Structure 1
Amino acid sequence: MKIPTIRDYVVEKLERMFKPRTVAIIGASRKPGKIGNQVVKNIIDGGFKGKIYPVNPHADEILGLKCYPSVKDIEDDVDLAIIVVPAKIVEQAMKDCAEKKVGGVVIISSGFSEVGNVEGENRIVEIARNAKIPIIGPNVVGVLSNSSSLNASFAPELPYNGNITLISQSGALVIGLIGWTWLYRVGLTKIVSIGNKADVDFSELVLYFGERDPETKCIAIYMEGTDAGREFYEAAKRVSPKKPIVVLKAGFSERGELAVASHTGSMAGAAKLYAAAFKQSGVIMAENLIELYDKSLALSLQPVPKKDLVTVITNGGGAGVLSTDSAEKYGFPLMDPPDDLKQAFRKYMPEFGSAKNPIDLTGMATEKEYYGATVEALKHPEVGGVVVLYCHTAITKPMNIAEKIYEAGQIARQEDKPLVVCFIGGKEVEDASNWLKERGIPTYPTP
């Protein structure tokens, strides 16, 4: 059901949902393998420090926790209610939540607009809106928050910790992408699976994470479609100057639009319309999942360049050429550094090196040359940012290079300039790359 406008009470109550003191699981189950059991187990295993209240009228205890017949029987206030009952019972569960005045509700249950049950979905939304209780869902995996040690979902684990918030219309992608966060050291602070987005849409989540959640430094979105395009545009335009928003929009092809409609019941809409709205509102588009993570990682860890000159420092000509092509493709063609900086670079390369951008230190460069050239660039007033490319050679150890790049990263922070790294090689390079990412320097395997 389309939101009438961005609602202030929703943005305010999302705080209780993502930083709850108390969580109720309506439909908690004693049977291992059932989602109602897994959600309770995940909340316990995730290390949630608040109170957990399983709700099941046919059980006295679940996983060592006292069970309640109804959410209304819980003596405490309930900040977050997770509904995991069959679709036909969700309406009554929602009425109980309204009577209890819970802070917010996540409906994991499916069987609503995604299968044509629009009327049933509208009824639960009407109950929620009359009670001013935000609903996330239905048809979702759940919500996860590293800052609250809360895995209120049936995803297997919390993501690798960081400062990106992921909002996804696909629950299955959420589960897969959590694995990626650990594999590629891409840190997330929160994950929201929004499914059918019957009540809370992208716009209110963007406003909450953009303006009220200091733990979120970048908002990453997997979007299939929205019925509240104007609201999303206004929210993104308001937030994007403060925090970057990266969107992967699915359903751009004709068959993709049909797939979106059958998946979540969303209207995918015209590709050009979405692209234009994203551009005008300051949203950064990603073309695939890897790009969504890559862009979000850099933007969550680094400031935006304040000058146009981005200096690329490399020990391999091929890597430098590829970076030149990429820079031009994405709208910031490389410029040569000023003469004084060229002269400074000459100290760190043999005669056959190149002080033009990209700066080719040649394959003879060691960690000493990398550090010196990188610091020269970072400290120069005309340089907006630095990209370091490293190809593994026989005369260097990737970890030695990484350690000096990390030292240069401290200067980058002092200068408030972005430093982005690309390490190309095998297992040693992968270990060095992960070491840098764990210390807040975005590092990639290709230029």
Structure 2
Amino acid sequence: VNLKETNILGIKAYKSVLDIPEHEIDLAILAIPARFCANAVRECGKRGTKFAVVISAGFAEAGNLALEEELVTIAGKYGMRIVGPNVVGILSNPSKCNASFAPCLPYPGKVALISQSGAMIVAIDAKSWVESIGISYLVSIGNMADVQIDEMIDYLNTDPDVDTISIYIEGLKDGRAFVKAAERCTKPIIVLKAGISTSGAAAAASHTGSLAGSNEMFDAAMKQCGVVKARSLSSLFSRSKALAVQPPLRGDNVVVITNGGGAGVLTADASELEGIPLNEATVTLQQDMKEYMPPFGSSKNPIDLTGMATASVYHDAMKTALLHDWVGGVIVLYSITATTDPMAMAEAIVSGIKDSEVTGKPVVAGFLGGAECRKAVTSLIENGVPAYD
């Protein structure tokens, strides 16, 4: 629909939605100046359109709250729901729909990502291909004049194409509704909250018209409803990648398997900072692990196989760890050496998991090295093991 053109990129254009032949309109995408949006929504409503994504900016975030409220009032009159305004659009891998400014659909998978920032959507879309983060939906929600994040959570919780829900939030209009939706949700939810500093909160207000609120209260609420908190964009990526293909941790016992002591120590620190301190391995597990290491190795946890560990040793250590009931999940680390091949190590880890025939225990991998490790990391991801380098 365009007031001036009759043909756009070879497709017939109409001056008004009302001029379109009698076909059902599922979705309207509004990319016109804000002052024309109210009339466009009215015309869509008259045609029975049930959903509109308003890409246009210049509403509450620019001080024009009345204009934004008018959109919602008109839409409500016709039973229409609005996503936005002030968004970059939506992307759906299941329906192969890219109604956004993003150049392509994201890397396919089962993470649904909701974001108040449109730029984040476009960046994540591109990043998904670099990091092999499988995404089903990208939804730019903007000012949230009508459709709220809690409604999106409820919808995505019933969608078979979604295993994990990731959210970038600047502010919530109804915190209680969000908490209740998160508590109802049976799928992992990961949240990156922006606007936690004074300057960040001010930026959020001018970006999407959001009131950021108390960071301490937000953290407490997220903990209450079991939401996983991300502290940065890279953290959101990492958590999304892991939960998209692996189950949550079973119990409290994580085992770290490594061929480098330093990597194990750093992982122990990071694990404790995330609220999962490493417990000492059981006597039985330690005895079993000693078969795969020289006398100067450590079987306590982290389990240090030492730099002498071969691919065969990694295979056996992985299989053994997963078969122990005490173990709830495994973090497997590999530091490159002159005598080992990263790809062989990746294959050994995957085969060790498969040969254990154990399911329901998460495994994540970290490969430390240069370009040689990149191919191995990609192979692990392709085989369902979240891996990082």
TM-score by length of 1: 0.84
- Tell me the amino acid that sits aligned with residue 232 of structure 2: N
Which deviations, in whole Å up to 9, do the C-alpha atoms of 1:62-87 show, x marking residues without a partner?
Answer: 22223233223242211111011111
Tell which deviates more after alignment, 387-396 or 399-408: 399-408
Q: Tell me the secondary structure at the aligned position of residue 254 of structure 2.
A: strand
Pairs within 5 Å for 1:108-123:
108-123=55-70
Cα deviation for residue 112 of structure 1 reads 0.7
Q: Tell me the secondary structure at the aligned position of residue 317 of structure 2.
A: helix
Of 55, 58, 81, the residue aligned with 1:134 is 81
Give yes or no for contact 1:412–1:419 (8 Å, CA) kept in 2.
Answer: no
- Tell me the amino acid that sits aligned with residue 144 of structure 1: L
Which deviations, in whole Å up to 9, do the C-alpha atoms of 1:50-101 show, x marking residues without a partner?
Answer: xxxxx22433322222323322324221111101111111111100111111
Cα deviation for residue 319 of structure 1 reads 0.4
Of 53, 69, 86, the residue aligned with 1:106 is 53
Which residue of the partner structure matches residue 98 of structure 2?
151
Which residue of the partner structure matches residue 342 of structure 2?
398
Give yes or no for contact 2:249–2:362 (8 Å, CA) kept in 1.
Answer: yes
Residue 201 (1) aligns with residue 159 (2): no
* Distance in 2 separating the partners of 1:412 and 1:143: 41
Cα deviation for residue 103 of structure 1 reads 2.6
Which residue of the partner structure matches residue 385 of structure 2?
441
- Tell me the amino acid that sits aligned with residue 269 of structure 1: G
Which deviations, in whole Å up to 9, do the C-alpha atoms of 1:95-131 show, x marking residues without a partner?
Answer: 0111111131100011111111111110110111222
Cα deviation for residue 413 of structure 1 reads 6.7
Which residue of the partner structure matches residue 359 of structure 1?
303
> What is the root-mean-square deviation in Å for CA atoms of aligned residues?
1.4
Give yes or no for contact 1:409–1:441 (8 Å, CA) kept in 2.
Answer: no
Give yes or no for contact 2:264–2:304 (8 Å, CA) kept in 1.
Answer: yes
Which residue of the partner structure matches residue 194 of structure 2?
250
* Distance in 2 separating the partners of 1:200 and 1:435: 39
Which deviations, in whole Å up to 9, do the C-alpha atoms of 1:189-233 show, x marking residues without a partner?
Answer: 1100111111001110011112x2111111111100011111111
Give yes or no for contact 2:256–2:303 (8 Å, CA) kept in 1.
Answer: yes
Of 260, 265, 268, the residue aligned with 2:209 is 265
Unaligned 5+ runs, structure 1:
1-54
Which residue of the partner structure matches residue 173 of structure 2?
227
Q: Tell me the secondary structure at the aligned position of residue 22 of structure 2.
A: coil
Which deviations, in whole Å up to 9, do the C-alpha atoms of 1:309-368 show, x marking residues without a partner?
Answer: 211100000001111111211112111222222121122111211111111110011110
CA 65–412 in structure 1, closer or farther in 2 if over 3 Å, else same: farther
Which residue of the partner structure matches residue 342 of structure 1?
286
Q: Tell me the secondary structure at the aligned position of residue 328 of structure 2.
A: strand
Give yes or no for contact 2:318–2:353 (8 Å, CA) kept in 1.
Answer: no
Which residue of the partner structure matches residue 93 of structure 1?
40
* Distance in 1 separating the partners of 2:128 and 2:238: 11
CA 377–256 in structure 1, closer or farther in 2 if over 3 Å, else same: same
- Tell me the amino acid that sits aligned with residue 234 of structure 1: K
CA 279–411 in structure 1, closer or farther in 2 if over 3 Å, else same: farther
Residue 409 (1) aligns with residue 353 (2): yes
Which residue of the partner structure matches residue 237 of structure 1?
183
* Distance in 1 separating the partners of 2:354 and 2:77: 52
* Distance in 2 separating the partners of 1:67 and 1:386: 57
- Tell me the amino acid that sits aligned with residue 273 of structure 1: M
TM-score by length of 2: 0.97
Of 106, 125, 144, the residue aligned with 2:72 is 125
Of 268, 275, 300, the residue aligned with 1:331 is 275
CA 196–366 in structure 1, closer or farther in 2 if over 3 Å, else same: same
* Distance in 2 separating the partners of 1:133 and 1:310: 48
* Distance in 2 separating the partners of 1:408 and 1:107: 50
Matched-pair identity in %: 48
Of 127, 140, 162, the residue aligned with 1:216 is 162
Q: Tell me the secondary structure at the aligned position of residue 336 of structure 1.
A: coil
* Distance in 2 separating the partners of 1:78 and 1:411: 51
- Tell me the amino acid that sits aligned with residue 163 of structure 2: K
* Distance in 1 separating the partners of 2:380 and 2:53: 36
Q: Tell me the secondary structure at the aligned position of residue 208 of structure 1.
A: helix
Which residue of the partner structure matches residue 311 of structure 1?
255
Which residue of the partner structure matches residue 171 of structure 1?
118
